[in-house]
Amino acid sequence: MVFEKIEDKRLNEILYKGVHKSGLTVYVLPKKEHSKSYAAFATNYGSIDYRFIIPGEDEYTEIPDGVAHFLEHKLFEQPDGSNAFDAYSLTGANANAFTSFNSTVYLYSCTDKYYENLEILLDFVSNPYFTKENVDKEQGIIGQEIRMYDDDPGWRVFFNLLDCLYVNHPVKKDIAGTVESIAEIDKDVLYKCYNTFYNPTNMILFTCGNVDCDKVAELVEKYVKATPNTEIKRYLPEEPKVINKKYIEQKLSISTPLFQIGFKDTDVGYGGAKLLKKEIVTSILLEILFGEGSDLYNRLYNEGLINDSFGSDYEGEISYGFSSVSGESNEPDKVLEVITDTFSKIEFTDEEFERVKKVEIARYLRMWNSVEGVSNTMVSDLFKNINIFEYSDIVKNITLDDIKLRFKEHFDEKNCVMSVIKPYESNGDK
């Protein structure tokens, strides 16, 4: 495997990219001065991929909700009854995995035995083992997890928000599925999805730290097998620009109401540098609007409407995007009222823009000091066709007019929804 050298002299960072004969794209980001090293083996397959054409077939296959997450759980199990985590415990590595709306990632970090850990990672992800017995067992485990999340206020306020924002897009569905949907999952479904989406052409291996390209290539050659290079045809329902509903409220066992206010992105359908710019502009805008130094934050805080849990976030993907503002408040409706009032008369200044822009650049530079931070960011970006090395040029050219335009288009009242979790009444009625 031949590695291409990608260099950013401003950051003094070098990224090596190679494509294995299997179609797997391999990245090596050397950070020899770091004591900790990291690896992520990821597939471009998440919870939103519920309808697709299996390679070699003509018709779409629709699978139950929660299969991607179910697969993530099952891949750790070995034919001898052991678990890949058992192997990691012997090496001292910190291993984990997660399923998002768009991808599934298997990862570890370690200070020693890097290549031994990489062998474990490549081996278990490349060799699935599903039986009726272990699938049935997992249904019970995940079913308990789903029931737990059903009563989790933070989880529910978030997915209720998504239900408000989206009419048809599967991002509104719980990543783990439902108790009913996972009951429909069997080993045949798992193998179908694994063989479709865990094709090396749909995956990346990202390594970072005190790592050698040749040694990584040697292990990839040993464990990753070539498979037919097939294009995955996915289906997503058409999503209207309008929101689904303005407001949703649920009661759970909490002491202080939780809220999330969301703003739906109507400008979607692209990745690459254009998406990266949108992400940066939105990040700067959120800091101007809701950062701890903003007038809005101080007003909300001084009036006792929010506490230190208050924050904002943006999630931008190719097929969807939304901003969210969240926190605890005894008067969530009042929080929204203050935000709406502030938005109606806000004025952006060059001084504030330049200050926050510097904060954004500083955050980006700090990311490169963390092997976990830079690895997770780059894995996510690569599936969105984003080259993170383009960040410096893009942020340099962002103007105050970009901020004003994004505010006008994105933070529109018609795109705004609210999700609230309130405590049960004092009499205990549910």
DSSP 371: H
Long-range contacts of 245-249 (CB under 8 A, 24+ apart): 245/163, 245/164, 245/417, 246/164, 246/416, 246/417, 246/418, 247/164, 247/417, 247/418, 247/419, 247/420, 248/160, 248/161, 248/163, 248/164, 248/417, 248/418, 248/419, 248/420, 249/419, 249/420, 249/421, 249/422
Encode 319-332: b = buried (16+ Cβ within 10 Å), e = exposed: bbbbbbbbbbbeeb
Encode 24-53: b = buried (16+ Cβ within 10 Å), e = exposed: bbbbbbbbeebebbbbbbbbbbbbbbbebb
The neighbour count for residue 429, using CB atoms within 10 Å, is 7
Whole-Å CA distances, 315 to 60, 91, 280, 353, 371: 28, 35, 11, 21, 22
Tokens 């090293």 correspond to 37
Given 13, 62, 72, 239, the catalytic residue? 72
Q: Please indicate whether residue 138 is annotated as part of the active site.
A: no
Enumerate the active-site residues: 72
